[in-house]
Structure 1
């Protein structure tokens, strides 16, 4: 099935903007939202210049404003004439060692990456249940595979929660016209993720996004992307001794 009308949150930069470019190149109509409206408008102009036949709708949205999420999704649905796929991509990478006086950073990360992602899933699935079709994509992280120490602890926990949510929804909706995909990207060269990982494991943005989009198009239930080396590391990481994992803090 071709999902023609695609909504992407956190689309003003990084993985969200790169996915928008890739889907536009595939001829899909787009609904893009993020806090930075100027960036969205610039991206919209770029996409329409390259692909003049498309519809590209943009809206400002802070996903932590949970009351605004369903309203914005409904506006974008009306502008595109429906939504076939929603990609919950907006995320935050702040973090500090717990108990060191930066609870604000950890709570912000936990809220954006899990609670606000759930608010987006609520809004998307309400639409899909009404339509009796749709594809929900949750952008989690390879950090969800194993708890991480130090400043990465809150981030890893928030993404583990998101992956668990995706698994639960996939089980609930199996055999229905509503599909759920959880993506677990490794280190891809964006401002947020590239800083967090070993440079030897960082994948160029175009390669990483191509792998993400391919998994989305397959509608895989869960995908570690790019497949190499992250599919293998997905099996290895839970088996590593805690002494080894401590070095990842």
Structure 2
């Protein structure tokens, strides 16, 4: 490995799954680099990790929607002499609303954050991992990438399906030299995601068995990437859903998706 302690870079580290990854990896003896847009939250988490685990924490405020954000982030790592052993591509959000009724600039930012930035980060950092013969890349995808897309979140499932396929190829290219890549696919997770998209009230109506905590997702994700799983769906319920949709004819699966989309839009309008 590159340092006496492995170093993990976590995007979207200010809350939810990203913060849970930071806590879990720090508890495993990792030093961490935290990056997101909200400096105050990153600094609060950094102080917690230093106190709890004696972790070396680097905070780099960064907005991955900016075209040169990844280059600037990697330059900041180089200036500090930091070599990344674990890359957690977690930053993400949703854009609700019909595709043509959302400004293109909003869609462009979304695709940079959820597709372009994690791909570029992997491209820039995997070279060092390969040279050192060790690395872990976790691309936080979603169960949504395994089921038909829904109306109203037009690009979300598409972006997650991309991350799944990208992770599979990345895993195959690097599995023989000690670098593991994994698309981590959670379902409904207790985090701020649904507050940001304005769907919290609707999500609160779902039964408890459909949900996982961020900590549960992270625990399963770390185990999956260490095993060398290229794709892993967290939670038994989510794996059943994935298996069901895999067996259904496309036409039936699309009808089910359309029904769910209609229900989703109706509840958002309430």
- In the superposition, the TM-score normalised over structure 1's length comes to 0.88
Question: Which residue, out of 2, 21, 24, partners 2:23?
Answer: 21
Retained in 2: the 8 A contact 1:95–1:105? no
1:127-166, aligned counterparts within 5 Å? 127-166=128-167
* Compared CA separation, residues 247 and 70, structure 1 to 2 (3 A): same
Q: State how far apart, in whole Å, the 1-side matches of 2:84 and 2:126 are.
A: 11
- Coordinate RMSD, CA, aligned: 2.5
Question: Which residue, out of 225, 228, 235, partners 1:216?
Answer: 225
Shift of 1:3: 7.8
Shift of 1:12: 1.0
Which deviates more from structure 2 when the two are superposed, residues 78-87 or residues 39-48?
78-87
Q: State how far apart, in whole Å, the 2-side matches of 1:211 and 1:24 are.
A: 16
Retained in 2: the 8 A contact 1:135–1:178? yes
Shift of 1:169: 1.4
Shift of 1:113: 1.0
Match of 1:39 in 2: 41
Structure 1: gaps (5+ residues): none
Q: State how far apart, in whole Å, the 2-side matches of 1:122 and 1:108 are.
A: 20
Structure 2: gaps (5+ residues): 262-270
Shift of 1:98: 2.0
Shift of 1:191: 1.3
Shift of 1:192: 0.6
Which deviates more from structure 2 when the two are superposed, residues 91-100 or residues 184-193?
91-100
Match of 1:236 in 2: 244
Q: State how far apart, in whole Å, the 2-side matches of 1:25 and 1:78 are.
A: 26
- In the superposition, the TM-score normalised over structure 2's length comes to 0.81
Q: State how far apart, in whole Å, the 2-side matches of 1:161 and 1:112 are.
A: 13
